[in-house]
Structure 1
């Protein structure tokens, strides 16, 4: 068990991107960290720091609940408790809804949604027994607004993350557990690189707009994202310590802009049809 008085974190998808930077900052600040990846050796090399007393690299198949359960058990055995869970693992999928096969779609849901649910199901009994814990579920601004051509399935997975986080927060509040859904905008990580985003195996020529979106993300946006991921993970660490963390956390000026546009559009639709849409109850005698 760690002798550090600081909290123990459990972070998925930790071999690159936001997850990797988060683990590195946590270790530098003396936290105990259990981190997951599909390959533990790759994770050790990527992190490049930490001791057995503070760092537990775990090879986990998030789509396999038994594998996730073993990781949670190993974390508790090593550090005695889990204070903060960060469901960061996930990957992008660019393709129109017509193009993407059932297998491609389900694979995206398996990692982005069901893998996250596996972690929640396995970690919550520990958090509940402690009567304390923080959970950060990483969605995307594409989980708040789906107005992104070619990202329909990916957005659907991230909308699911947002919805289940809100319900989870309501379910576990009485146990002292606080949950936050995080909506990042564009941050300069490997998210748009070949290993982190998939495209249709059977593209359809008619969807030129989707191909243009794909090319723009791969050739123009990748490596030029405005967000500094180091600042994003520093904010997560800061928020983990506050008494009442936000249920919804938008990260980046671009995320705020998109969210504001979505909120305004919803309000406009509501007002436009308010009279008719609120006249749908049974008539009172």
Structure 2
């Protein structure tokens, strides 16, 4: 009989994380799920069985994260799949976002995930198995979104450290995957998940137009189905050789190829310069 995996999912009280947790519980999996508010998490998931462990966690605190991992191991006896899903969006031109605004976005989207990885890996290494799934964004590969530079930078960071991580943990039988969704119909563009600049600069009309487009036209009309996205993530944990990169959504697929083609054009157009710089 196949043993159900133990999952640890951050940012589970809404959006893709909530959909994922609900689907996992329906399959019989054991799930430790985190949110800043345990009351919000319990209400959103609405599950009372002993296979569900809701946890209030401050991801920017190493102590809080370590405590959550230990509670997961203590409750379920093991840890198999870690999903770093917690994060939030931020708009604003680079000039108009303050150092504090930018650093706070990095603290949650980047350093929060690193805290989880750092505390989970000793257990995964000891059992010589596991899978770390980091939820990035197509904006971590394709950054041509005016007004989303800091958010894209956080997701580029996630992509970069996950690629290195995949090589570092391979000898221990551990997998790492970057999941890069396009636009999915979640709360991502709601005020609770999307931070706006505190001191906008009027000159950045292109940025204001992009913000308006996202809030008035894209919000509520995103093409991605969160149920299908969650199912794709669950599928990752069941394959012997999961991919390093998984883009979700036709829009993400097309944007990824647009970036690849643009880089190829620049490489070939400037090849003479590129290869002329050696000794």
Q: TM-score, normalised by structure 1?
A: 0.96
1:220 aligns with 2:209: no
Question: Which whole-Å CA distance do the structure 1 matches of 2:266 and 2:68 have between them?
Answer: 46
SS of residue matched to 2:47: coil
Q: What is the deviation of 1:277?
A: 0.9
Which residue of the partner structure matches residue 143 of structure 2? 146
Which residue of the partner structure matches residue 110 of structure 2? 113
- Give the one of 165, 189, 194 matched to 1:192: 189
- Give the one of 187, 199, 204 matched to 1:202: 199
Q: What is the deviation of 1:254?
A: 0.1
Q: What is the deviation of 1:156?
A: 0.2
Q: Contact 1:20 / 1:46 at 8 angstroms: preserved in 2?
A: yes
1:278 aligns with 2:275: yes
SS of residue matched to 1:217: helix
1:95 aligns with 2:112: no
Q: 1:77-92 to 2 correspondence within 5 Å? A: 77-92=74-89
- Give the one of 2, 5, 27 matched to 2:3: 5
1:230 aligns with 2:227: yes
Question: Which whole-Å CA distance do the structure 2 matches of 1:73 and 1:49 have between them?
Answer: 22
CA RMSD of aligned residues (A): 1.1
- Give the one of 1, 14, 20 matched to 1:16: 14
Q: What is the deviation of 1:5?
A: 2.4
Question: Which whole-Å CA distance do the structure 1 matches of 2:254 and 2:96 have between them?
Answer: 30
Question: Which whole-Å CA distance do the structure 1 matches of 2:240 and 2:180 have between them?
Answer: 21
Which whole-Å deviations, capped at 9, do the CAs of 1:257-285 have from their partners, x for residues lacking one?
A: 00000000000100111122112211xxx
Which residue of the partner structure matches residue 258 of structure 1? 255
Gaps of 5+ in 1: none
Which whole-Å deviations, capped at 9, do the CAs of 1:19-76 have from their partners, x for residues lacking one?
A: 000000000000000000000111000001241x200000000000110000000000
Which residue of the partner structure matches residue 61 of structure 1? 58
Question: Which whole-Å CA distance do the structure 1 matches of 2:267 and 2:31 have between them?
Answer: 45
1:25 aligns with 2:20: no
Gaps of 5+ in 2: none
Which residue of the partner structure matches residue 34 of structure 1? 32
SS of residue matched to 1:150: coil
* Structure 1 stretches of 4+ moved >4 Å: none
Which whole-Å deviations, capped at 9, do the CAs of 1:166-208 have from their partners, x for residues lacking one?
A: 0001100000000001110000000000100001110000011
Q: What is the deviation of 1:217?
A: 0.9
Which residue of the partner structure matches residue 167 of structure 2? 170
Q: TM-score, normalised by structure 2?
A: 0.98
Question: Which whole-Å CA distance do the structure 1 matches of 2:176 and 2:274 have between them?
Answer: 33
Q: What is the deviation of 1:15?
A: 0.1
Aligned length: 279
- Give the one of 130, 154, 158 matched to 1:161: 158
Q: Contact 1:27 / 1:50 at 8 angstroms: preserved in 2?
A: no
